[in-house]
Amino acid sequence: MIYETLSCITEEINNYFKRKLQINEDKVILSGIVNQDGSIAVQGENKIIATLINIERETVVQRPGTAAGRSFGTPVGPPASINLYVMFSAYFSSNNYAEALRFTSFIIAYFQSKPVFDTTNTPGLDTIIGKVIFEMESLAADKLNNVWTTLGAKYMPSVVYKVRMLTFNDAIIREFRPAVADIAADSSATSK
C-alpha cells in the first residue's frame, strides 16, 4: 500500500511536469538516496528523489470500542492508520544548482495546488487507499541535519511532506509478485 501510494503520486507529478514543462523524461523518481553500501542509489543526475523517511502511527482516529473481527479463526485487530513522511530531494549536478532550486519550487507549487489525492482526481490511485492528503512539514535545522545524517547523504535542496493517512488491514494483502531478476529464453524450448 505504501509503494502503490507513492508510485502513483510520483507518476502524477511526472505527468504534470511533462504537460507544464513540455518535457519527455520523468524528473521525479521513487528511490532511496544512498544504498546500504554508501553508494548513490540513483543512476544519473538532475532528478527529484521521493524518499520515504518515516512512518508514524495516526493516533487520532483510533476508535475505542471497535470490535475485532475474526478471520480464519484468528482474532483480527482494528485497522491501523499511519502517516508517511516523504522527502523530495533535488539531486542535480553541482553546476546545475539553479535547476535544483527551480524543481524544488515546482514540487512545492504542485502540492500547493493539489494537496488531496483521491480516486476522482487521481484515477491511478487504488480504491483501497481512498484518499491521501499532503501537508508540508517544517523541519528545524537540527532535525533536518539529523535526517540527512541518518540517510548518509550530503544536504540537497529538499522539502518534506506528511502524507495523511493510510489505513491498513489484511485486505491489502492480495498477492506477492517477486521482482523479475533476469529474463532468459530457454533455447531447448524455442528450437523445437
Residue 180 belongs to some domain of the structure: no
Q: Say if 191 falls within a structural domain.
A: no
The conformation of residue 44, written as its DSSP 8-state character, comes to S
Is residue 36 assigned to a domain? yes
The answer as to whether 175 is a domain residue is no
- DSSP 8-state class, residue 180: P
Q: How far apart are CA 24 and CA 91, in angstroms?
A: 18
Q: Scanning the structure block, which residue is given the C-alpha cell 550530503?
A: 154
- For residue 24, the model assigns a pLDDT of 96
Q: What is the pLDDT of residue 66?
A: 44
Maximal CA-CA distance, the chain: 66
Neighbours of 79 (CB within 10 A): 16
**Is residue 110 within 8 Å of residue 103, measured between CB atoms?**
no
Whole-model pTM: value is: 0.80
Q: Is residue 119 part of a domain?
A: yes
Element (H, E) at 87: strand 80-91
In a domain, 94, yes or no: yes
Residues of the chain scoring pLDDT < 70? 61-76, 168-192
For residue 189, being part of any structural domain is answered with no
pLDDT digits (tens, 9 = 90+) for 121-132: 999 988 888 899
**Rounded to whole angstroms, how far apart are CA atoms 100 and 103?**
5
Number of domains into which the chain is organized: 1
Residue 73 lies in a domain: no
Distance between CA atoms of 89 and 107, rounded to whole angstroms? 10
18-43: burial string, b at 16+ Cβ within 10 Å, e else: eeeeeeeeebbbbbbbbeeeeeebee
Structural domain containing residue 121: 2-62+78-170
Give the pLDDT of residue 192.
Answer: 47
Q: CATH number, domain at 58?
A: 3.30.2000
Alpha helices by DSSP H, listed for the chain, are: 2-21, 97-113, 141-151, 187-190
